[in-house]
Amino acid sequence: MWDFPFYPEAASTIAPRVDAIYWTLVALSAVFSLGVAILIVFFAIRYREGMDVNRTKLLTENMPLELSWVFIPLGLALGVFAWSAVVFADINRPPADTLNIYVIGKQWMWQVQHPSGALEINHLHVPINQPVKLIMTSQDVIHDFYIPAFRIKHDVLPGRYTTLWFEATQTGQFHLFCAEYCGTDHSRMVGSVIVMEQLDYETWLSGDSGLSMEAAGQQIFERRGCSSCHSGDPDARGPALAGVFGQTVALEDGRTVVADEAYILESIVQPNAKIVAGYPAIMPTYEGIISDEGLFQLVAYIKSLSDETNQQSSN
């Protein structure tokens, strides 16, 4: 009868876990605040001026009491910390097998591209019960991708690539917000996440007959002459790209890095940030030359090179 939502629906695998921490913190705060408040009122009444009470037994020391007020709150606080740390790590560590969707924030809209090439603005269609990873960047200022019903939120930064993952557990339509003030129309930078059954999602995707992200990326790769250096030959000027995705790469300065989307994107726009061991730093930057959409398509293509080699080696 009274439909006033105190907090959003819990529609992802992580949402109930975040809520459990939230309500535990509310309960702990309530217990301690009420305990203190009730004792203040009780003592204020009982020991007020003129009350006939014994004031001689002044307590100056009580070791068990002092130890308990040190160690009980300490245990509670550390317990909440450890619990939150586990959930925080899971929010930030996507599973290996995700559906990857690319998101670009710009004043003032969200542009989304699916691997099949399907594009959408201010809408994000995803299948239920499937881990989805968003790879995000901004074309102008800092935005923040926020889906309250999934309890996830992450900054979207110009010149950097951030990721966010979730697994939806309910079909339906949920709010999508920009949660970082980004200029005049920030408050209107909103949209919807539409969670669909797996089959409905596939039907929805097939309604769009554009070029897949992989194919579009391959076109850019060829047009820009990337293969003249990244030819895959042993004496090529640049490292081979087939089979690289997901592998650990040794760098010239002795560090290692896992070749994920963010690393590949960084290597295209800032080639000198991480030089692969054994190769000269000769690659020019493509920052501002290839659009953000194009960069995401290139990554989808470079990633697909590794899928094929994996298939070939396992056959």
H or E stretch covering 81? helix 63-92
Under 8 Å CB-to-CB from 158, ≥6 apart: which residues? 137, 138, 139, 140, 141, 142
Question: Given the complex with ligand CUA, which of 109 and 215 has the nearer CB atom?
Answer: 109
Among 124, 134, 152, 182, binds ligand CUA (CB under 6 A): 182
Contact in structure between 130 and 167 (CB atoms under 8 Å): yes
Question: Given the complex with ligand CUA, which of 152 and 264 has the nearer CB atom?
Answer: 152
In the complex, least distance from residue 180 CB atom to ligand CUA, rounded to whole angstroms: 5
Q: Is 178 in the site for ligand CUA (CB under 6 A)?
A: yes
Number of continuous H segments (helices) and E segments (strands) in the chain: 6, 12
Q: Is 214 in the site for ligand CUA (CB under 6 A)?
A: no
Q: Is 154 in the site for ligand CUA (CB under 6 A)?
A: no
Question: Given the complex with ligand CUA, which of 110 and 286 has the nearer CB atom?
Answer: 110
Q: What CA–CA distance (Å, rounded) separates 18 from 194?
A: 21
Q: What CA–CA distance (Å, rounded) separates 148 from 174?
A: 8
Instruction: Return the beta strands (E) in 33-139 as ranges.
Output: 99-106, 109-113, 119-121, 123-127, 131-138
Enumerate residues 101-130 that contact ligand CUA by CB under 6 A: 105, 108
In the complex, least distance from residue 146 CB atom to ligand CUA, rounded to whole angstroms: 9
**x-or-dash pattern for ligand CUA, window 53-92, by CB under 6 A?**
----------------------------------------
Among 14, 135, 149, 189, binds ligand CUA (CB under 6 A): 189
Contact in structure between 173 and 193 (CB atoms under 8 Å): yes
Contact in structure between 167 and 12 (CB atoms under 8 Å): yes
Which stretch in 57-65, 79-87, 177-185, 270-278 sits in contact with ligand CUA by CB under 6 A?
177-185
Question: Which residue ranges make up the site for ligand CUA (CB under 6 A)?
Answer: 105, 108, 143, 178, 180-182, 186, 189
